[in-house]
Amino acid sequence: MIRNFLVFALLSAAACAPINRLRTPSYESEWPIAVQRATLAADSGNYANADRILADYVARYPRTREAREVLFWRAMFKLDPGNTTSGSLSEGIAMLDKYLADSTTVAFRAEAAILKRLAVTTQALQAKGIAPPVRDTTFIKTVTSNETEVAALRAELARTTAELDRIKKRLANPNK
């Protein structure tokens, strides 16, 4: 009798345990999708949309590590020679300065330092009038925004399905 009661109590307590701790926080799962969408937008020449996608991510998750990494990506898009609409060496350098000043940004620290040195050198050469001609390095993809959205949604569905399968297996074998 006591054994049955203990088993019941243990199962009841386990049923009340939050399952959400098994999930990846949404800001972590949305980050690669946001970067991919922004990169696709920039690759197709739509730098304003790329910047908007990153700004939306920061607005939703302002105090995350990923939100601090947005400065690097925005600087990359500002410094892209193919960005003839909103590109700016001085703005890109300022963003990289801010990124490098934050000691918590670590993902692209080395790349940001190198990129900043290249941008400063380019700016100095342009000021002297000896800058090499800028060639268009834009790679235009033929992916439409709908196809991009479908790809992002399929990736999210695959992650959710994998998580659901993992939970089903765990519930099927509770003794493990």
Quick one: pLDDT at residue 140? 58
Angstrom distance (rounded) from CA 102 to CA 63: 13
For residue 131, the 8-state DSSP code is: P
The pLDDT assigned to 134 comes to: 60
pLDDT at 60: 94
Q: How far is C-alpha 1 from the geometric centre of its chain's CA atoms?
A: 55
Closest Cα partner for 43 from 142, 122, 114, 135? 142
Residue 40's Cα: distance from chain center in Å? 12
Residue type, 153: L
Write down the pLDDT at residue 112: 94
pLDDT for residue 32: 92
Distance CA 93, CA 88 (A): 8
> How far is it, in rounded angstroms, from Cα 70 to Cα 58?
7
pLDDT in tens, the chain (176 residues): 665 555 555 556 555 555 555 566 687 889 999 999 999 999 999 999 999 999 999 999 999 999 999 999 999 999 998 898 888 899 999 999 999 999 998 889 999 999 999 999 989 988 888 755 666 666 555 556 788 888 888 999 899 888 888 888 888 877 76
pLDDT for 130 equals 76
- Residue 105 is predicted with a pLDDT of 86
List Cβ neighbours of 55 (8 Å cut-off, separation of 6 or more).
Answer: 70
Question: How far apart are the C-alpha atoms of 28 and 5, rounded to whole Å?
Answer: 41
With contact defined as beta carbons under 8 Å apart, do 44 and 141 qualify?
yes
Topology, domain 25-130 = 1.25.40
Instruction: Count CB atoms within 10 A of the CB of residue 92.
Output: 23
